[in-house]
Structure formats: structure tokens, C-alpha cells
Amino acid sequence: MKSNNNKSAAMLKFDNEQVSVHSVVTKYQGFFKMNEYLLQHQLFSGEQSQVFTREIFERGDAVVVMPYDAQQDKILLIEQFRPGAIRGDDSPWLLEFIAGMFDENETPIEVAIREAKEETDLTLSSENLIPIMEYLSSPGGMSERIHLYLAHIDSEQISDGAIYGLPEENEDILLHLVSRNRAMELLSQGKITNAATIIGLQWLALNYQSLSGQDSSTK
């Protein structure tokens, strides 16, 4: 293993300028796409890497919305079937937040508003939505970027146990309105295994006390 005693070495030294994409070949095109990249990039030593291939799952970017009533300290979780969870020993019905992919020419805010209506019948506006962060789901093999938002809501307008979703998209979504403490219990018990939901709840655990004054939901 190479060592470097330079303790002042810069972090995130490189950007796209230090990557050469020699070719991109689509290996599969269905609901999602798989591309094969032929790549080369600069090494930390200053030399160039070998030319190598990587298959990248191109599923598009997505928006995740965490609905939270700061006044009542309640969170809206949704439950739905996820085929990617079949291989595990636990249930493939997951507890999640509202989420969806981009349609053509949509902004993240527009996706958030559309998906909230389709999945939970919540009517949101841009004033209700607070950006939390953007992150890469699994950048070793997937290009997806997640846009995570907090949505200020009025939990009194939500029917706990209601069922929503678009039949034409095979959606069957059950609503669970829970206290923040109950959501954190589910998280600590391993009942919430969806990455975006875990990240959102951990962010909320750090920031919930500062949110009551920001609540812009319609009462």
C-alpha cells in the first residue's frame, strides 16, 4: 500500500476534467437502461489509469419527499411492495417516504408535488417544500441522484390507513401516520430498510427542533 506523509493533501482533488470517456455502449434498454463505459482517469500519483470498462445502471434521477407535521410532531410513511427486496429474508413490503422519478423536462419541485398527489393525495406547493440534500444512491454502479425534500404538512388532513397509488403503474400504497418517536423506534428496530427513508429520518432527528418556526403548511 502506498503511503503519503503530506497531511495537507487536498480533498476531492479532481473533477470531470480528469476523466476520459472513450465510449458508451447501451447493453440493455427496457424500463431501465444498462450502459457500458470505456473509461480512463487521472490517478492521485499524477499518472493515468489503464483504460477499463464499467457497466452502469442508468435508472434516472429521483425525488424523495419526507412529509412532516412540525406542530403535531408526526410523520407520514407509506408502505408498498418493492420487487428489489424479494431476495432478502424480510418482507418486500417496505416503509418509505413519497418518491418518484422525473418525467421529461420536470424540475425536482414539480416531481415532488406530482408524486405527493399520486401517492398520498397530499396537495403541496413549492412553499411547503424544503430541500434537504442531494446524494448518489450507489455510485459504484448506478448513476441515480436522489433529491431529498422535507414537506411541511397538516396531519389532520391525512387519513391514516388510506390507500392510494396509480393502478396503471401497479402502485398499491398504504398510508401510516405516526409520531416522530414511533418512526425512530421503527428505524432502530430495523423495520425501515429503505436508504432514502433512513437518511431522511436521521436528518430529522438532528433538525426537528428547529422546524416548528418554519412550518408553512396550510392550516
CA distance 82 to 111: 20
Question: Can you name the residues that pair with 130 across neighbouring β-strands?
Answer: 150
Does residue 5 belong to any structural domain of this protein?
no
Q: CB-side exposure of 170: number of CA atoms within 13 Å?
A: 3
Question: Which residues, 6 or more positions from 28, have their beta carbon under 8 angstroms from its beta carbon?
Answer: 34
Which residue in the list 55, 134, 156, 169 is annotated as catalytic? Answer: 169
Question: Which amino acid makes up residue 21?
Answer: V
Question: Which residues, 6 or more positions from 67, have their beta carbon under 8 angstroms from its beta carbon?
Answer: 75, 76, 97, 98, 116, 120, 122, 151, 153
Does residue 162 belong to any structural domain of this protein?
yes
Question: Can you name the residues that pair with 148 across neighbouring β-strands?
Answer: 64, 133
Q: What is the pLDDT of residue 219?
A: 44
Extract the residue ranges of the chain whose pLDDT is less than 50.
Answer: 218-219
Same domain, 23 and 125: no
Does residue 112 belong to any structural domain of this protein?
yes
Question: Which residues, 6 or more positions from 75, have their beta carbon under 8 angstroms from its beta carbon?
Answer: 66, 67, 68, 69, 177, 178, 179, 180, 183, 201, 204
Which tens digits make up the pLDDT trace of 74-117?
999 999 999 999 998 889 999 999 999 999 899 999 999 999 99
Does residue 38 belong to any structural domain of this protein?
yes
Does residue 177 belong to any structural domain of this protein?
yes
Range of the domain at 32: 16-58
Q: What is the pLDDT of residue 217?
A: 52
Q: How many structural domains compose the chain?
A: 2
Q: What is the pLDDT of residue 218?
A: 45
Q: Determine whether 169 is an active site residue.
A: yes
Same domain, 20 and 68: no
Same domain, 93 and 201: yes
C-alpha distances out from residue 99 to 19, 106, 126, Å = 32, 14, 16
Does residue 81 belong to any structural domain of this protein?
yes
Q: What is the pLDDT of residue 10?
A: 78
